[in-house]
Amino acid sequence: MYTFKKEERLCNKKLIDKLFHNGSSFLCYPFKASWLIATSPQQFPVQVLFSVSKRRYKRAVDRNLIKRRMREVYRLSKQQYLYDLLNSTDKKIVLSLGFIGKDIAEYEFAEKKMLKLLAQLAVEIAK
């Protein structure tokens, strides 16, 4: 329930290209979410990709810190906000979460905004 396995990560290059070309997206500062309903069978309801701009954060230490915080908040809240909805509607999605903020977000701020983003994503998927 509160795990984040390798199979939940989005690694397929063709699927990533399809996500960014055909998917829907929205902003919930400091995050940008892009999502697409998956047509291919997948083991988990959501495959997710986390990204942080190398142009904005030159040091890998900073990018890794931000991605760790994003993964942790996602891991703890995915079941309540996404998995329950997707399992009940029998949908599967691919999701990209990009960090577009100017400053490194504290964990509490990132958590609050990620929960808002996941709630907004649930509304978008339910349409």
Residue 1 counted as domain residue:
no
User: Nearest-CA neighbor of 95 among 80, 108, 107, 83?
Assistant: 83
CATH of the domain at 70: 3.30.230.10
Number of alpha helices (DSSP H) and beta strands (DSSP E) in the chain? 4, 4
pTM above 0.75, yes or no: yes
Looking at residue 40, its pLDDT comes to: 86
What are the pLDDT tens digits along the chain (127 aa)? 789 999 999 999 999 999 999 999 999 999 999 999 998 889 999 999 999 999 999 999 999 999 999 999 999 999 999 999 999 999 999 999 999 999 998 999 999 999 999 999 999 998 8
Residue 2 counted as domain residue:
no
Looking at residue 71, its pLDDT comes to: 97
Residue 84 counted as domain residue:
yes
Q: How many domains does the chain have?
A: 1
User: Nearest-CA neighbor of 122 among 70, 69, 83?
Assistant: 83
**Domain coverage including residue 106:** 7-126
Looking at residue 127, its pLDDT comes to: 81
User: Nearest-CA neighbor of 96 among 9, 29, 14?
Assistant: 9
Q: Which long-range contacts (CB under 8 A, 24 or more apart) does 63-71 make?
A: 65/104, 66/99, 66/104, 66/105, 67/99, 69/105, 69/107, 69/110, 70/31, 70/97, 70/99, 70/110, 70/114, 71/4
Looking at residue 126, its pLDDT comes to: 87
